[in-house]
């Protein structure tokens, strides 16, 4: 049976009282709040992406630092070897053992000494070549580390900018809601539910659900079990559980629990996961919403999805068509 109505709605339109002259209607307030939260969601994805990239850069810097330390130790060892050879030459009057043998009156000793002399020269050249290579590696590692530091700093600035935008949008939306009386807040929730109901109804009336009959894989079932077990937990921007989630935090953690790690943000999930037509959608697939791919949910079957909606709301089940669908992606393609 398809999900059609939102909780507390019977399918009948909800008529909000007319606003006072010069005052915004509750529907206008709803749209303004929705727009602010939408912009906050887009900024949250930018923040999460920058945070993930910052972690990768930090890991690269640590790895390069380890390589630099190992390279410095290698250079020290090579210099010790070169120093030992130089000290040996000094003790023998500047002639290495091979050269002394080469100057021997014995033909056999001469041949043996010449061979050892060639081997010694080859070994010395090898030490010098390895020393040069190691020094070149250290120069390259240092340059790469500097580049990673610059990228890390750029991502830090991106995170700060995104966080400021998130905070400002959420604060503005909350300020609008805080101005409402308790009765108006209840009506606002009804309007949100009615809007979602209308969008879901239009989606179902298109006949799309008749084409959707895919079956969940075992991994998909595991991801759904995880996601639905989080129902009732609050939306927290940037969160990946266990106390709360943002939209992509919920979907990425659900699929991680199912044994299939996926990208952290909705934009990256759209970019990197396999896209499938809506008619081929199956439970466990992810639904990417809005043109900017700023929201994601998990399809659970029968026209329903589970998602973390926005700040001030909790993880819940809703109609899969209650928001404009941009694409369907499959983590376990």
Model pLDDT for residues 238-266, shown as the tens digit of each residue: 889 899 999 999 999 999 999 999 999 89
The DSSP bridge pattern shows strands 295-301 and 304-307 to be antiparallel
Q: Could you tell me if 276 and 311 lie in one domain?
A: yes
Q: What is the DSSP letter of 245?
A: B
Whether 239 maps to a domain, the answer reads: yes
Please report, in angstroms and rounded to a whole number, the separation of the first and last CA atoms in the chain. 26
Task: Show the domain range for 289.
Answer: 182-330
Whether 90 maps to a domain, the answer reads: yes
Q: Could you tell me if 122 and 259 lie in one domain?
A: no
Q: Could you tell me if 165 and 233 lie in one domain?
A: no
Q: Could you tell me if 148 and 230 lie in one domain?
A: no
Alpha-carbon distance of 101 to 168, in angstroms, equals: 83
Nearest in space to 60 (alpha carbons), one of 133, 138, 141? 141
Q: Could you tell me if 149 and 259 lie in one domain?
A: no
% of residues, the chain, pLDDT over 90: 30
Which CATH number goes with the domain that contains 266? 3.90.1720.10
Whether 30 maps to a domain, the answer reads: no
The DSSP bridge pattern shows strands 295-301 and 274-276 to be unpaired
Query: In the annotation, is 314 catalytic?
Result: no
Where residue 27 falls among pLDDT bands split at 50, 70, 90? confident
pLDDT of residue 159: 64
Q: What is the DSSP letter of 306?
A: E
Q: Could you tell me if 152 and 202 lie in one domain?
A: no
Of 144, 169, 194, the residue at which a domain comes to its end is 169
Where residue 226 falls among pLDDT bands split at 50, 70, 90? very high
Alpha-carbon distance of 330 to 333, in angstroms, equals: 5
- Residue 73 CB contacts under 8 Å (≥ 6 apart), including other chains: none
Q: Could you tell me if 188 and 320 lie in one domain?
A: yes
Of 134, 169, 204, the residue at which a domain comes to its end is 169
Domain count along the chain: 2
Q: Could you tell me if 237 and 323 lie in one domain?
A: yes
% of residues, the chain, pLDDT over 70: 61
Whether 3 maps to a domain, the answer reads: no
Q: Could you tell me if 165 and 77 lie in one domain?
A: yes
Give the best-scoring range by mean pLDDT among 18-27, 109-118, 152-161, 184-193.
184-193
Catalytic pick among 38, 195, 295, 314: 295
- Contact at 8 Å (CB) between 321 and 204? yes
Query: In the annotation, is 247 catalytic?
Result: yes
Q: Could you tell me if 165 and 220 lie in one domain?
A: no
Of 169, 196, 223, the residue at which a domain comes to its end is 169
pLDDT of residue 288: 96
Whether 258 maps to a domain, the answer reads: yes
- Contact at 8 Å (CB) between 302 and 1? yes
Please give the model's pTM, rounded to 2 decimal places: 0.58
Query: In the annotation, is 148 catalytic?
Result: no
Whether 267 maps to a domain, the answer reads: yes
Whether 2 maps to a domain, the answer reads: no
Whether 64 maps to a domain, the answer reads: yes
Alpha-carbon distance of 191 to 203, in angstroms, equals: 18
Q: Could you tell me if 210 and 308 lie in one domain?
A: yes
Q: Could you tell me if 317 and 209 lie in one domain?
A: yes
| Residue 271, phi then psi, degrees to nearest 5 | -70, -40
Burial of 103 (0-12, 13-18, 19+ CB in 10 A): exposed
Q: Within 10 A of 77 (CB to CB), how many other CB atoms are there?
A: 14
Where residue 283 falls among pLDDT bands split at 50, 70, 90? very high
């Amino acid at each position: 049976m398809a999900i059609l109505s939102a909780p507390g709605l019977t399918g009948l339109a909800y008529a909000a009282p007319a606003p006072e002259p010069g005052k915004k209607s509750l529907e206008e307030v709803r749209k303004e709040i929705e727009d602010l939260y939408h912009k906050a969601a887009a900024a949250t994805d930018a923040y999460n992406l920058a945070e993930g990239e910052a972690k990768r850069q930090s890991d690269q810097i640590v790895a390069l630092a380890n390589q630099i330390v190992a390279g410095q130790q290698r250079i020290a060892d090579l210099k010790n070897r070169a120093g030992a050879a130089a000290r040996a030459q000094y003790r023998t009057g500047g002639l290495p053992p091979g050269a002394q043998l080469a100057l021997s009156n014995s033909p056999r000793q001469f041949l043996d000494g010449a061979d050892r002399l060639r081997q010694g020269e080859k070994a010395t050249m090898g030490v010098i070549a390895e020393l040069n290579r190691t020094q070149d590696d250290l120069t390259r590692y240092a340059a790469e580390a500097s580049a990673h530091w610059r990228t890390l700093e750029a991502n830090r600035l991106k995170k700060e900018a995104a966080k400021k935008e998130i905070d400002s949008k959420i604060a503005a939306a909350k300020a609008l809601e805080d101005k409402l009386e308790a009765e108006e807040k209840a009506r606002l929730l009804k309007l949100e539910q009615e809007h979602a109901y209308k969008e879901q109804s239009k989606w179902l009336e298109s006949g799309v659900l008749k084409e959707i009959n895919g079956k969940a894989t075992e991994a998909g079932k595991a991801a759904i079990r995880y996601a639905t077990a989080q129902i009732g937990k609050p939306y927290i921007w940037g969160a990946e559980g266990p106390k709360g989630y943002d939209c992509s935090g919920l979907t990425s953690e659900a699929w991680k629990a199912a044994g299939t790690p996926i990208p952290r943000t909705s934009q990256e999930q759209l970019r990197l996961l396999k896209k499938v037509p809506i008619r081929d959608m199956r439970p466990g697939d992810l639904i990417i919403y809005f043109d900017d791919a700023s929201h994601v949910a998990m399809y659970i079957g029968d026209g329903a999805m589970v998602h973390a909606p926005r700040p001030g709301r909790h993880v819940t089940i809703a109609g899969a068509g209650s928001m404009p669908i941009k694409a369907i992606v499959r983590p376990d393609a």
